[in-house]
Structure 1
Amino acid sequence: MLRDTAERVAREYELGAVTAAPVYAARGELGLIWRLDTERGSWAVKESLIEVAEEDADADVRFQHAAAEAGIVLPAPIRDRRGRVILRARPHDLRVYAWADLAAGEITAAQLGAAAARIHRVRHAARGQVSPWFAAPLGRAAWHEVARISRGQEWAGALDACLADLIAVEDVVRPPDPADVTTCHRDLNEENLRMSTGGVLTVLDWENCGPAVPAQELAALVARDGEVYRAYVEAGGPARVTRPEHFSMRVAVQAHLLEFYARRATGGQESEESRSRARARLRDMLAAPLTKERISAILEGLRDHHAHPVGHHAQPDRGA
């Protein structure tokens, strides 16, 4: 980030005079993060690699404020002097958060489940419908196109080995019931949950939040680690995972991500860094994809939990 850009950010968001050159801090799938130090403190400036509408950014900030008011710790989003979230800039749009000093170390499944429970209890009204990315299957024809563009690539063998299962598992996908939809984080995982240097659990990366069914977001987390569910219930989370269709969101996202990474990994317009990241994601995802067999095994394990519940008992939401 150029010094001129940093000074423009400081001016527009009223952060005070810049005291040091911006420092590159991290890279995510959809953007870069820079640390900006000014006379008023330190700030995280996010440089988005995709265009985001101001009304969408405004909606995610409103949810972040609702979560913060409910006691969830997160880096405070900053609006500019005109009340806007996004600063249109070249080559990429920018937005600002208060800087959070984060500690090294792994997040446990119990912490992840408890965080999900607290977020789901916010019950913030959803804006609009659930995006197809989170609700629609990829479809047989699109899957075979993914296989075609993957031919000769290092992940092609792994994809071919599970292609039939990836197509078959989309049978569980059902359209979300509007009565069950609320605003969810939609990107909650161990990478976006960190301890601060002061020992406080902090939830990051809220830009992907939006309409979803809590039971489906919970199912996506349970598919990663069953211990999440026990912690979620004990923390008073309102959702329950009881049926294959509760994995609709996880199955839909799995499909769209695999297609996205396959196209990025083979895209001539992409940087080598982006292609390398995509190849790594493909290796990880194809090593243990979510299948009908895995869903059945997960639900069987949860039935044992439902038969012998422990801790706090919250009423399930309509998506349970």
Structure 2
Amino acid sequence: MLIETAERVAREFELGEVAAEPVYAARGELGLIWRVDTDRGSWAVKESLIEVAEHDAAADVAFQRAAAASGVVLPAPVVDRGGRVILRARPYDLRVYEWADLAAGEITAAQLGVATASVHRVRHAARGPVSEWFAAPLGADGWAGIAGISRRQEWEDALHAWLDDLVAVDAIVVAPDPARVTTCHRDLNEENLRMSTAGVLTVLDWENCGPAVPAWELAAIVARDPEVYRAYVAAGGPARVTRPEDFSMRVAVQGHLLEFYARRATDPTETEENRARSRARLGEMLTRPLTLERISAVLEGLRDHHAHSVGHHAQPDGCA
């Protein structure tokens, strides 16, 4: 990021006078993060790799503020002097957060469960229906397309080994019940949860938030690590995972992500960095994807937990 860009951001968002060159901090799938220091403090400036509508950004800021008001710790979003979230700039759109000093170290399953419970207790009304990315299976044509563009690629054998299972698990996906939909983070994982240097659990990367079923978001997390569930329930999380259909969001996202990464990895117009990141993600996802067999195993483990919990916890409410 050029210092001239940082200075423009500082003016528009009233951050103070820029004190030093911006420092590259991190990169995610959808953007890059820079640290900008001014005479008023330090700020995280995010460069978005995709265009985001202002009304969508304003909606995620509203959810972040509701979460913060309920006690969830997160880097505070900053709006510009006109109340806008997004600064249109070339080549990237920009947005700003207060800087959070984060500690190194791994996040435990218990911490992830506690954080998920705290976000689900916010109960922020959803804005619109659940998008197909989170609610619709990829479908036979989609899987055929992935298989086609994966020919002679380094992940082809892994995809072929799992393809029948990936197609079969689509069958559990059902349409979300609007009465159970609320605003969710939709990207809760160990990468987006960190301890601050002050020892406070901090939830990051809220730009992907939107309408979802809390139980389905919980199932997606529990599918990666069932130990999350016990901590979630103990922390007062309201959702419960009890049936295969609760994994609908995880299955839908799995298919759409595999398609996204396969297409980006084979797109000659993409940067080599993006193609390499996509190949790595494909390798990770195809090591142990979510299948009907895995869902059955996870649910069996959760049934044991439910059996031991009878009489010790309040009944789950309507969000699950």
Matching of residue 143 in structure 1 with residue 140 in structure 2: no
Quote the residue 1:166 is aligned against. Answer: 166
Percent identity of the aligned residues? 78
2:279 pairs with 1:279: yes
Name 1:57's counterpart in structure 2.
Answer: 57
Cα deviation, 1:160-209, whole Å, max 9, x if unaligned, reads 01001000000000000000000000000000000001111000000000
Equivalent pair of 1:234/1:310 in contact (CA under 8 Å): no
Paired residues of 2:238 and 2:319 also in contact (CA < 8 A): no
Partner of 1:131: 131
Partner of 1:191: 191
**Where does residue 30 of structure 2 map in the other structure?**
30
Task: Please tell me whether the aligned partners of residues 109 and 228 of structure 1 are also in contact (alpha carbons under 8 angstroms).
Answer: yes
Quote the offset at 1:316 in angstroms: 1.6
SS at match of 1:148: helix
Q: CA RMSD in A?
A: 1.0
The 5 A counterparts of 1:260-299 are: 260-299=260-299
Paired AA for residue 164 in structure 1: D
The CA distance in 2 between the partners of 1:171 and 1:194, in whole Å, is 35
Shift of 1:141: 1.1
Q: How many residues align?
A: 320
Question: Where does 1:201-240 land on structure 2 (aligned, <5 Å)?
Answer: 201-240=201-240
Q: Distance in 2 between matches of 1:311 and 1:97?
A: 43
Letter in 1 for 2:18: V
Contact 2:194 2:202 in 1 (8 A): yes
Find the residue that maps to 2:286 and give its secondary structure.
helix
Secondary structure of the residue aligned to 2:43 is strand
Change in CA separation of 1:60 and 1:144 when aligned onto 2, cut-off 3 Å: same
8 Å CA contact 2:75–2:97 kept in 1: the answer is: yes
Matches of 1:314 and 1:114, distance apart in 2: 17
Displacement of 1:319 in angstroms is 4.9
Q: 2: CA distance between counterparts of 1:156 and 1:314? A: 47
Aligned to 1:308, the other structure's residue is in SS state helix
Tell me the alpha carbon deviations over residues 119-153 of structure 1, each in whole angstroms, 9 at most, x when there is no partner. 00100000000010000000011101101100001
Segments of structure 2 that go 5 or more residues without pairing to the other structure are none
Structure 1 residue 314, shift from structure 2 partner: 3.9
Say if 1:305 and 1:45 are closer, same or farther in 2 by CA, change over 3 A: same
Q: Which runs of 4+ in 1 moved over 4 A?
A: none
Cα deviation, residue 312, structure 1: 6.5
- Contact 2:183–2:211 (Cα < 8 Å) also in 1: yes
Is the contact made by 1:16 and 1:40 (CA closer than 8 Å) also made in structure 2?
Answer: yes
Call closer, same or farther: CA 1:46–1:314 in 2, change over 3 Å. farther
Distance of 2:31 and 2:311 partners within structure 1 = 40
Unaligned runs of at least 5 residues, structure 1: none
Q: Determine the C-alpha separation between the residues in 2 that align with 1:312 and 1:19.
A: 55
Offset at residue 241 of structure 1 (A): 0.3
- Alignment-mate amino acid for residue 81 of structure 2: R
Contact kept, 8 Å, 2:216 with 2:241, in 1: the verdict is: yes
Within 2, Cα distance between the matches of 1:235 and 1:310?
Answer: 16
Deviation at residue 311 of structure 1 after TM alignment: 9.8
With structure 1 as the length reference, what TM-score do the two structures score?
0.99
